[in-house]
Amino acid sequence: MTSIDQLSTPALVVDKATFEANLDAADAVLPGDRLRPHVKAFKSTAIAAELARRGHRNFCAATPREIEGMVAAGHTDDLLLANESLDLARLGALTDVASITVAVDSDTILEAAVAAGIDQVLIDVDVGLPRCGCSPEQAPKLADLARARGLTVRGVMGYEGHLMMIEDRAERIEKVAESMAVLAAVAVEVGGDIISAGGTGTFDVNTVATEIQAGSFTLMDSDYARLDGPFRPALSVLATVISVNPKGWIVADAGIKAIAMDHGNPIWDGGDVLFCSDEHATLVLQDPGQWKVGDRVRLTPAHIDPTVARHESLWLLDDDRVVEHWPVDLRGW
């Protein structure tokens, strides 16, 4: 397959030049192990390989399945499950061939790691996002328990996800500094070398973390593109026009089963997205007379991670020529 016209739709397509520019921009700020790419964003070991070739060989993941897939693809240097899980036995079986660390925020998760035979942990600390993470006061006690149970405490982790989308850069810098001051203080008490935090929205303003867990920057979405970062959307959902209405709209064959809607509608260059339903996107046109059934449109999703998880393949494009196929091989749990 060499042409975009040969792709069945809906399909995930990636602009090669934009993708490479995004990686270049990240490299310039976060070389080597300063970046711990988060594979949950792109769910493809082929993209992980591109990052590893650039010197980013330590990865983090959100699910045991993602860790398993990374190990199977030979990415074994330093893998972090940056999420609490009780399903750790399957990862313990991989510790003979891979270096695996897990995040813990409670005695129960800690004991699950012990039972699985995983001997490296980060203490996950609440830094303001109402999600996982123990209280700063609890963290040193949990670290002491981990060491008493024979585990290596590599450091701390905290996710300032509630601050990722602050559009005013000065405010984002200020709020991130406040959040990370909490994590830095806990790190002194917990010990270890790692302060793991951050994401695409704070990749260049989080100056406390020793490593940044960014992943969306690779492909990007319209939500993150609202910020002042150097990254641009490389991924879009290719769809085919299946109906043209004389009242001024067209319908394309990509709806909420192909595009994540939790951050809002996708966007496109030809007009507005009126709404998406199961298999359809209804698009209001700037120039209704120019469209016919069979035409192709490209929709930029507002949220990359769950959009990619809906598909089996990514297609890398050089203009309209398909130059590579990347399986979305880290899907599932």
| Residue-wise pLDDT tens digits, 76-96 | 999 999 999 999 999 999 999
| pLDDT at residue 229 is higher than 80 | yes
Percentage of the chain exceeding pLDDT 70: 99
Residue 295 structure tokens: 């035409």
Give the residue-averaged pLDDT of 53-57: 98
Lowest mean pLDDT segment, chosen from 163-167, 238-242, 283-287: 283-287
In the chain, what are the domain boundaries?
4-11+231-327, 17-217
Query: Tokens 């591109």 label which residue?
Result: 50
307 to 100, 166, 209, 252: CA distances (angstroms): 27, 22, 28, 17
Whether the predicted pLDDT of 1 surpasses 70: no
Amino acid 290: pLDDT: 83
User: Could you tell me which CATH number the domain at 4-11+231-327 has?
Assistant: 2.40.37.20
Q: Write down the pLDDT at residue 275.
A: 97
Q: What is the CATH code for 17-217?
A: 3.20.20.10
Q: Do domains 4-11+231-327 and 17-217 have the same CATH topology?
A: no
- For the cut 90, the answer to whether the pLDDT of residue 286 exceeds it is no
Cα gap 39→331, rounded to integer Å:
10
User: What pLDDT was estimated at residue 2?
Assistant: 81
Residues 5-40 pLDDT 10s: 999 999 999 999 999 999 999 999 999 999 999 999
When pLDDT is averaged across residues 239-255 and rounded to a whole number, the result is 95
Percent pLDDT > 90 in the chain is: 95
Phi, psi of 85 (to 5 degrees): -155, 145
Rounded Cα–Cα distance for residues 214 and 164 (Å): 11
CA 142 remoteness from chain centre: 28
pLDDT mean across residues, the chain: 97
| Distances in whole angstroms, Cα of residue 102 to Cα of each of 185, 256, 279 | 21, 33, 38
pLDDT at 288 over 90: no
pLDDT tens for 34-54 read: 999 999 999 999 999 999 999
Q: What predicted TM-score, i.e. pTM, was given to this entire model?
A: 0.96
Instruction: Please give the average per-residue pLDDT across 286-301, as a whole number.
Output: 90
Between CA 332 and CA 11 the distance in angstroms is: 19
208, 197 contact by CB (below 8 A): yes
Rounded to whole angstroms, how far apart are CA atoms 326 and 69? 14
Q: Please give the structure tokens belonging to residue 54.
A: 């650039």
Mean pLDDT of 133-141: 98
